[in-house]
Structure 1
Amino acid sequence: MSCLPRRISWRNLLVAVCIVILIIALFSLSSWKGKIGSEFDFPQNRKHPVEPATQEADQSEGNGIVEGNPDSEEKLVYDPSTWPSANYDVHVFYYAWYGNPTHDRQWFHWNHRYLSHWDKQTDLRHPKGRHKPPDDVGANFYPQLGAYSSKDPEVLDRHMYEIRKARIGVVAVSWYPPSTADDEGEPPDRLIPAILDAADKYDVKVCFHMEPFANRNAETIRDAIMHIINKYGDHNAFYRKKRGEKQLPFFYMYDSYTVKDNEWMKLLSRLESLTVRDTQYDGIFVGLAVESQHPEQIYNAGFDGVYTYFASDTFVFGSKPSNWRKISSFCKTRDMMFIPSVGPGYIDTEVRPWNSQNTKSRENGAYYKKNFKMALMTLPDIISITSFNEWHEGTQIEAAVPHARGYGTEKYMDYGGVGQASMYMELTRTLIESWSKTKYT
């Protein structure tokens, strides 16, 4: 009898020791997992955006992606057999100059500086310095995708999907020659292969909106044209349009009036030694009409067409729809293309705080519809849209959401609330479809 209690005691002791070891192991595992989460800081899953209510805590470490409406959870499925065709006579100006620390190691363009006014007394009355993303960006609206990077393949894919869904056929990409860029960004040429691939997935075409790079003259512009055609001309998404009997590359030449006419003539006249006409580098070249004399200068320089770009309809001669019929008539009698540019509105006071006089209210879509209708009345060859994502000037049709600036109580403008994030993409599709019915019946 005296030995039985001892055997039971040792057995109980062994069980108790095992339980203690198990408890210690579980506690250690929990602590180790917590240590991983805090010290190694696994990146958030950016594929599925977070809700606005939880966004503030995450913005300092990411790009500030915001959930604007249920469409942002939509699976991007493109079926060309069931989707209505794209309209390749509708072009949208596209900017691939945005960057964030996640993809670019630093901010580009979202942290745009406040531009100075040329009058010192006026300039003193306005803010200086730079914006501080991701909550404070250089724009009056806030993108549904947050302060994104143009390098992000998911962003590019989403953009091309939305563009194609709106039945836009061509994106006109803002472009500088290799190793050059605007003052706020990185050289965009390095992103062209990714843009072409993303566009091709959705049967969208890509043309080039050549920016006013330094030292533009006949030789440097010819070199730029040669680079684009040699490097990208064989890609399936590279846009060509029929002109006469040829399918030719298409180029918008921004601020073309800053280059002397005789320099353009060296390129665009068949009699000049540097001409691209009737060579493998020939194309359709479209000049920008800002002032009333520009259409004639563009014609004399040898261009194939005229576009107007600006979305503020009282800004300059070319941007006023009341002048479009006159410009169109001038072009048609000279076998030139006329390409009016329409936009949903204009506001750039987060980069040009002194420029409120050129602000154009969106009027809940009425401004966009009115100017699109004015463009249709000119019987245009092509309609261009300013813009898909020029956020600094508030001309974007890309989805925007309500959002706080991150300081004080100031909030961004929006399209009418969370449910209206994609309003202007949807309106664009409606306007394109109305043109297509008129144009082809």
Structure 2
Amino acid sequence: MKPWPRALAVPAAVLLAVLAACGAQQAGSRGAHTRLAAASVPAFGHIFVIMEENKDYSQIIGSSAAPYLNSLLSRGASASNMDAVTHPSVNNYLADVSGQTYTTVPPAVGSPISDSCTPADSGCSTTATNLFDEIEASGRTWGAYMEDMPSACYTSYSSANYVERHNPVPYFSQIRDSASRCANDKPYTALAGDLASAATTPNFVWITPNQQDDMHNGTIQQGDTWAQSNVPKILSSPAWTTQHSLLVITWDENANQNDGNHIPFIALSSDGSIAPGTVDSTHYTMYSFLRTVEDAWGLAPMHAGDIGASGMAALFTGAAPPSPSRTQTSPSPTQTSPSPTPTGTQPPQRPLRAAFMYAWYPENWTHGGTYPASHWRPVAGYYSEDSKAQIERQITELNYGRIQHGILSWWGPGSKTDQRVAPILADSAGRDMYWSLYYEPAYTGQAALSSDLAYIHSHYASDPHYWVYDGKPVLFAYTRSVSSCTDVANWMAANAGRFFIDAQVFAGYRNCAVQPDSWHQYSPATRSDDQAGYSYSVSPGFWKYGETRARLARSVSAFRSAVAAMVASKEPFQLVTTFNEWNEGTAVEPATAWASPSGYGQYLDVLHAYPTN
């Protein structure tokens, strides 16, 4: 059982205690807890929250005083039965990010924390675990942006139209007392710079307008005008246009304290996961939204409110992000590529173009605690290789790039990459596409290797769309399993003549007494590599997620030169590293960053322009 957080120990006269149903709470820090994300809540890359003030649902939704806010409903959704947690302001802000409300002991034992209790007052803070703690523990980032706040993590009662009770961050002393963490609580003016790129935009963005613009002291019209001026800055930012993002605009509480605290709640997504015009009538509280953020990112519920709530799954379509429609200005692949060979008839053994492909999505969109684990966004969105439509799309794109052969990363019997081989082969029926496997497991002995090779041979080698060369099914071997002459000898012994083996090169490979059937280099951080007599490989670039600088910068012109040299080499195997390794940023698959009029992207356009013969 995880320990509950306790209030910061201070003199009793000003103690802020955490109200917990379980009674007295134990001291001590809480470790990071994670759980599997709910399948029906998308794992957004960025979540934006704009918190407005003190309006009933009926004062905003359908109101002529808020034309811009209502216009957003045609692009997104409304949760029509959303209630705030409590009254007054400060307890809502704290509840919305921690899953519980707070009380003071004394002067009025058990009474809710007052709006006049500021973080600058001795005792008006807590060490309770909160959403900002959870986000950091998951490896993500957050930023809170407060309009008119004069400096980071400002703790005084007010300044101009800024008030501390509309900013939950400084009430958590573990953040307030840390200069590095407190720096994430910023004046609103910092947001424009942070929105300049997806990399500088925090995963979680909280925005509080000032008291005029949030409708607390200002009119609904003023708040709507502020939204019209500021929301488009989010919707035009790279974090929105190139990432899987969510925007929520909601209110801390309603104006009529006798009306069940019914508040407006507006949500938009950048990827189609919220259907335009959706009205979700499920009864929610703001604890439900907190739980939704936790579900999206696999964070553990913290306290009674979010533990007892369900996420807002009904708000989302549950469908994979749709691919944007394409306007084809070039002939389709079937018209411009060489005529397709009949199903099951392998292409002649001329120089062949093949691409390394990774059927490990959606799992690998999250990697090392990062989502999405890529600097780039595919045009198709963060797709799943379990989708027949996605596989068919990829085959069309491969063929457009004059790629007839794919090399599927394979991690052993029963793995996800194994489970997807048969469907990919089946979906290639009637198409000019043939597949090999890239054997990735480490060498653990002859028995395991022999067993794996027997498994691959019996399950896939006889399929009419498994790649055959020199009369044998083709199998590529990564250096993890073959990195010395001894390993090559072991491989060829285990193979027993069943496969055409193409091994990754290593120092001195040409001097091995026992040779495989062919050699290749897998080194996408290098623009091109020629293994004379065997293969030639090219790469569009290499920028691994989490790294601040590309190991190989993307350049369409440099890639074009590399492809031209590859074709001129006449090497028998001409390899593209890679079609869709998004974690390392080596993909030629269409992405928003290199979109082109053809709809296939600039890198596939280059490959299309250079046939292998």
Aligned match of 1:20: none
After TM superposition, the score normalised by the length of structure 1 is 0.60
Q: 1:224 to 1:80 in 2, by over 3 A?
A: farther
Structure 2 distance, partners of 1:214, 1:167, is: 32
Deviation at 1:167, TM superposition (A): 2.1
Aligned match of 1:12: none
Aligned match of 1:253: 477
Deviation at 1:145, TM superposition (A): 0.8
Please, which of 403, 410, 423 is the counterpart of residue 194 of structure 1? 423
Structure 1 distance, partners of 2:496, 2:503, is: 16
Deviation at 1:157, TM superposition (A): 1.0
Structure 2 distance, partners of 1:90, 1:82, is: 13
Q: What is the letter of the counterpart of residue 252 of structure 1?
A: F
Please, which of 236, 240, 243 is the counterpart of residue 468 of structure 2? 240
Deviation at 1:152, TM superposition (A): 0.6
Q: What is the letter of the counterpart of residue 382 of structure 2?
A: A
Q: What is the letter of the counterpart of residue 457 of structure 2?
A: I
Aligned match of 2:364: 109
Aligned match of 1:224: 452
Structure 1 distance, partners of 2:541, 2:504, is: 19
Please tell me whether the aligned partners of residues 389 and 397 of structure 1 are also in contact (alpha carbons under 8 angstroms): yes
Q: 1:345 to 1:423 in 2, by over 3 A?
A: same
Deviation at 1:76, TM superposition (A): 9.0
Please tell me whether the aligned partners of residues 93 and 171 of structure 1 are also in contact (alpha carbons under 8 angstroms): yes
SS at match of 2:476: strand
Structure 2 distance, partners of 1:167, 1:252, is: 20
Q: What is the letter of the counterpart of residue 365 of structure 2?
A: W
Please, which of 354, 358, 380 is the counterpart of residue 551 of structure 2? 358
Please tell me whether the aligned partners of residues 484 and 509 of structure 2 are also in contact (alpha carbons under 8 angstroms): no
**What CA deviation, in whole Å up to 9, does each residue of 1:377-397 have, x standing for no partner?**
543111011111111122111
SS at match of 2:365: coil
Deviation at 1:94, TM superposition (A): 0.8
**What CA deviation, in whole Å up to 9, does each residue of 1:66-102 have, x standing for no partner?**
4164259x99996899846678711111110002xxx
Please state if 1:160 is matched with 2:395: yes
Aligned match of 1:285: 501
> Percent identity between the aligned chains?
16
Please tell me whether the aligned partners of residues 68 and 400 of structure 1 are also in contact (alpha carbons under 8 angstroms): no
Please, which of 379, 389, 409 is the counterpart of residue 580 of structure 2? 389
Structure 2 distance, partners of 1:259, 1:361, is: 29
Please tell me whether the aligned partners of residues 415 and 421 of structure 1 are also in contact (alpha carbons under 8 angstroms): no
**Higher mean C-alpha deviation, range 162-171 or range 150-159:** 162-171
Structure 1 distance, partners of 2:492, 2:360, is: 29
**What CA deviation, in whole Å up to 9, does each residue of 1:111-139 have, x standing for no partner?**
122xxxxxxxxxxxxxxx422xxxxx111
Deviation at 1:416, TM superposition (A): 5.7
Q: What is the letter of the counterpart of residue 251 of structure 1?
A: L
Deviation at 1:231, TM superposition (A): 1.0
Please, which of 577, 594, 597 is the counterpart of residue 415 of structure 1? 594
Please, which of 501, 510, 513 is the counterpart of residue 300 of structure 1? 513
Aligned match of 2:432: 203
Please tell me whether the aligned partners of residues 93 and 387 of structure 1 are also in contact (alpha carbons under 8 angstroms): yes
Please, which of 358, 376, 387 is the counterpart of residue 95 of structure 1? 358
Please state if 1:130 is matched with 2:370: yes
Deviation at 1:253, TM superposition (A): 0.5
Please tell me whether the aligned partners of residues 351 and 572 of structure 2 are also in contact (alpha carbons under 8 angstroms): no
User: Over aligned residue pairs, what C-alpha RMSD do you find?
Assistant: 3.5
Q: 1:241 to 1:144 in 2, by over 3 A?
A: same
Name the count of aligned residue pairs: 302
Structure 1 distance, partners of 2:520, 2:338, is: 33
**What CA deviation, in whole Å up to 9, does each residue of 1:14-41 have, x standing for no partner?**
xxxxxxxxxxxxxxxxxxxxxxx989xx
Structure 2 distance, partners of 1:138, 1:71, is: 30
Deviation at 1:262, TM superposition (A): 2.5
Structure 1 distance, partners of 2:600, 2:410, is: 28
Greater fraction helix? 1
Structure 2 distance, partners of 1:295, 1:340, is: 16
Deviation at 1:224, TM superposition (A): 1.5
Q: 1:260 to 1:167 in 2, by over 3 A?
A: closer
Question: Please, which runs of 5 or more residues in structure 1 have no aligned partner?
Answer: 1-36, 40-50, 100-107, 114-128, 132-136, 181-186, 314-318, 333-337, 402-413, 437-441
Aligned match of 2:382: 147
SS at match of 1:208: strand
Structure 2 distance, partners of 1:392, 1:374, is: 27
**What CA deviation, in whole Å up to 9, does each residue of 1:277-313 have, x standing for no partner?**
3xxxx221111125xx24326x434212111122222
